[in-house]
Chains A and B, each alone.
Chain A
Amino acid sequence: MFAPSAIAEISQETLALSKRLFLQLKRRPSTLVAGILQPLIWLVLFGALFAKAPMGLFPGGGSYGKFLGAGVIVFTAFSAALNAGLPVMFDREFGFLNRLLVAPLRSRYSIVLASVLYITSLSLVQSLAIMAAAWGLGYGWPGGAGLLVVIGTLLLLVAAVTALSLALAFALPGHIELIAVIFVANLPLLFASTALAPISYMPGWLGWLAALNPLTFAIEPIRAAYLGQFAFDAVVLEAPYGALTAAQCLLLLLVLSAGLFLSIRPLLDRKLS
């Protein structure tokens, strides 16, 4: 599709643009730190809240902490990706984007690609930190193959959420509106998923919501990996509409993120042309 020189130019642009984002992060690490602290607090407080729940009350037979771990890991990656649009929004507002748009970029998707690279690495680092913290709290570790499942699942979720956040960053009028949407979306999506409790504990309507929530599709394969029960054809979710295997959950995430990237393309084309 592209000549070799085009690929070289696109990677030069993308690398330079992501380098800028990483330099910002290095010199202003509060995003990184806050993105680890918040889920860490969830992990510690929520873990403690139900620490005395009888063993075996939660699926998998472990303590509540073991159950909770997968939920908080997914929540960490999700929150990081939800913020993907903020740097882009600030560039729009401060006019820095115009500086990029007057340059003869080989492809303006370099701007999007740099954001995706940056957010993906940031959310992975944060998730790994939370995984380490969960291990320190005695909530387990998925092991080598399990780690691959966790990372693969997180990548799919992060891709979908990043696409959504970037679309919002180009569609909304300013950062106030973007932050409002992030704020409103964040916690309800967490509560209406299987991060904190299994579907069997929920009233019917909430169970339906949780079973349709993309976060659940990421949480359950990871939870299975943590319990050492991961297999592509193993049922990981007993949804009201039927049982889902790990492979089905991952496929749903893949379709979701591909669908989101395809559906925001017209918006990005319009804003970047």
Chain B
Amino acid sequence: MINLEQIYKRYGSVSALEGLSLEVPKGCLYGLLGPNGAGKTTALRILCTLLAPDQGRVFIAGLDALADPRGARAQLGYVAQEVAIDKILTGRELLELQGSLYHLSAARSRDRIAALSALLGMEEWLDRRCGSYSGGMRRRLDLACGLLHDPAVLVLDEPTVGLDIESRAALWDVLQQLRQQGTTILLSSHYLEEVDALADRLAILDRGCVIAEGTPEQLKQQLGGDRITLRVREFASQQEAQRVQQIIQGLLGVSQVLINRAQGHAINFVLEAQGSEALLQLRQQLEHAQVPVFSLAQSRPSLDDVYLQATGRTLMDAELAAISSRDSKAEKKQAMR
């Protein structure tokens, strides 16, 4: 339903996308996971015809979006990250405007507004001015705008950032309902649990290209053995962690030993064998090597491990690195026409 082929995009000297390819099957709820600055927003803006790629091809519902942007736009509902609403208009007026921009008849527009305001629970405040809306109400209105023309493809850029837990659960609910009705949904997120819980398939983005793709289960299965998190104390120093890292690297049946700075220099590693037997053996080995243990946790691989495996850092580390190197002024300029 959505095909991005070998997309390249640069902003001046900064490369945002480096040969990104993506294929979203019809009726799929597809997650685009990656830290800030990985290129998610750029990819979605190109998909929605807001931005032209330097190179590459874009197809939406079989239409070449670069050759026939207007045809592609009619198939798309786009819910942007920065919610741009007109504070002076009421929610209903904004939706009516949206209806006219998509050439719905007045009757059709009215019916869709009624249906969506029931679905999203907006009846009570739909006739109030948007300026008085809370964050959750704005996001719901924006979703209603994206859905008004009943698009075949719904694209959401970080739809739950800044939402309270209740609004987020409500949004997840609606997305799942839409998927059941056959809408193809592409959403970007830097929340692991969101993508894990919602997506049928996902792609992990890092530095402008896809580094892993598949169903959440597949991706986790590929990683094999159990994940172990060892803390030698609640907050270990780096030297201490490095010393323990070396000891653990020498143990049997252990691989990919990493220091996780985001978790107070905990040691992450993979235990090739699975189950409680393997853990018991590990404990004995640690005792023998006189490694202090504050906590020892065992789990099946998570999506974070998928990211860690592919990039050598956790999603949170990447996120923190991205935040400090962001240039909000340049980003605003990119978003402005």
Give A residues with C-beta under 8 Å from B.
Answer: 9, 12-13, 15-17, 19-20, 23-24, 27-28, 92-106, 170, 173, 271-272
Q: A27-B88, A103-B98, A104-B70 are in contact. Are A95 and B82 (CB under 8 A)?
A: yes
Name which residue of chain B comes closest to A89, CB basis.
Answer: B336
B101 within 8 A of A: yes
Q: A23-B89, A24-B88, A103-B98 are in contact. Are A9 and B82 (CB under 8 A)?
A: no
Could you name 28 residue pairs across A and B whose Cβ atoms are closer than 8 Å? A9-B103, A13-B100, A13-B101, A15-B100, A16-B99, A17-B97, A17-B101, A20-B93, A20-B97, A23-B93, A24-B86, A24-B88, A24-B89, A92-B336, A92-B337, A95-B82, A95-B335, A96-B84, A97-B337, A98-B80, A99-B80, A99-B84, A99-B145, A100-B101, A102-B76, A104-B102, A105-B101, A271-B337
Q: A100-B101, A103-B73, A103-B102 are in contact. Are A20 and B50 (CB under 8 A)?
A: no
Cross-chain contact B48 with A102 (CB below 8 angstroms)? yes
Name which residue of chain B comes closest to A96, CB basis.
Answer: B84
Main secondary structure of the interface of A (DSSP, over half): helix
B96 within 8 A of A: yes
CB distance from A272 to the nearest CB of B (A): 8
What's the Cα separation between A15 and B80 when bound, in Å? Answer: 25
Contacts of B102 in A (CB 8 A): 103-104
Contacts of A96 in B (CB 8 A): 84-86
B78 within 8 A of A: yes
CB distance from B291 to the nearest CB of A (A): 53
Contacts of B337 in A (CB 8 A): 92, 97-98, 101, 170, 271-272
What's the Cα separation between A99 and B89 when bound, in Å? Answer: 15
CB distance from A102 to the nearest CB of B (A): 5
CB distance from A201 to the nearest CB of B (A): 46
Name which residue of chain B comes closest to A100, CB basis.
Answer: B101
Q: Which of B74, B89, B145 contacts A104 (CB 8 A)?
A: B74
Contacts of A92 in B (CB 8 A): 336-337
CB distance from A31 to the nearest CB of B (A): 12
B214 within 8 A of A: no
Contacts of B93 in A (CB 8 A): 20, 23
B71 within 8 A of A: yes
Give B residues with C-beta under 8 Å from A.
Answer: 48-50, 70-71, 73-74, 76, 78, 80, 82, 84-86, 88-89, 93, 96-103, 129, 145, 333, 335-337
CB distance from A32 to the nearest CB of B (A): 14
What's the Cα separation between A20 and B86 when bound, in Å? Answer: 9
What's the Cα separation between A17 and B98 when bound, in Å? Answer: 10
Contacts of B48 in A (CB 8 A): 102
What's the Cα separation between A194 and B261 when bound, in Å? Answer: 73
What's the Cα separation between A271 and B86 when bound, in Å? Answer: 21
Name which residue of chain B comes closest to A101, CB basis.
Answer: B50
Contacts of B85 in A (CB 8 A): 96
CB distance from A269 to the nearest CB of B (A): 12
What's the Cα separation between A198 and B62 when bound, in Å? Answer: 67
Name which residue of chain B comes closest to A103, CB basis.
Answer: B101
What's the Cα separation between A256 and B80 when bound, in Å? Answer: 40
Cross-chain contact B71 with A104 (CB below 8 angstroms)? yes
Q: Which of A16, A24, A94 contacts B100 (CB 8 A)?
A: A16
Cross-chain contact A98 with B84 (CB below 8 angstroms)? yes
What's the Cα separation between A99 and B142 when bound, in Å? Answer: 10
Contacts of B99 in A (CB 8 A): 16
What's the Cα separation between A94 and B93 when bound, in Å? Answer: 18
What's the Cα separation between A20 and B96 when bound, in Å? Answer: 10
What's the Cα separation between A106 and B86 when bound, in Å? Answer: 22
What's the Cα separation between A98 and B97 when bound, in Å? Answer: 14
Cross-chain contact A95 with B84 (CB below 8 angstroms)? yes
Name which residue of chain B comes closest to A5, CB basis.
Answer: B103
Q: A92-B337, A95-B335, A96-B84 are in contact. Are A104 and B73 (CB under 8 A)?
A: yes
CB distance from A273 to the nearest CB of B (A): 9
Contacts of B74 in A (CB 8 A): 104
Cross-chain contact A94 with B88 (CB below 8 angstroms)? no
Name which residue of chain B comes closest to A28, CB basis.
Answer: B88
Cross-chain contact B50 with A23 (CB below 8 angstroms)? no
What's the Cα separation between A107 and B185 when bound, in Å? Answer: 27
Name which residue of chain B comes closest to A8, CB basis.
Answer: B103
CB distance from A191 to the nearest CB of B (A): 35
Contacts of B335 in A (CB 8 A): 95, 98
Contacts of A23 in B (CB 8 A): 88-89, 93
Q: Which of B78, B88, B96 contacts A16 (CB 8 A)?
A: B96
Q: A93-B336, A96-B84, A104-B74 are in contact. Are A16 and B89 (CB under 8 A)?
A: no
Name which residue of chain B comes closest to A90, CB basis.
Answer: B86
What's the Cα separation between A267 and B108 when bound, in Å? Answer: 36
Cross-chain contact A102 with B73 (CB below 8 angstroms)? yes
Q: Which of A16, A24, A98 contacts B50 (CB 8 A)?
A: A98
Contacts of A24 in B (CB 8 A): 86, 88-89
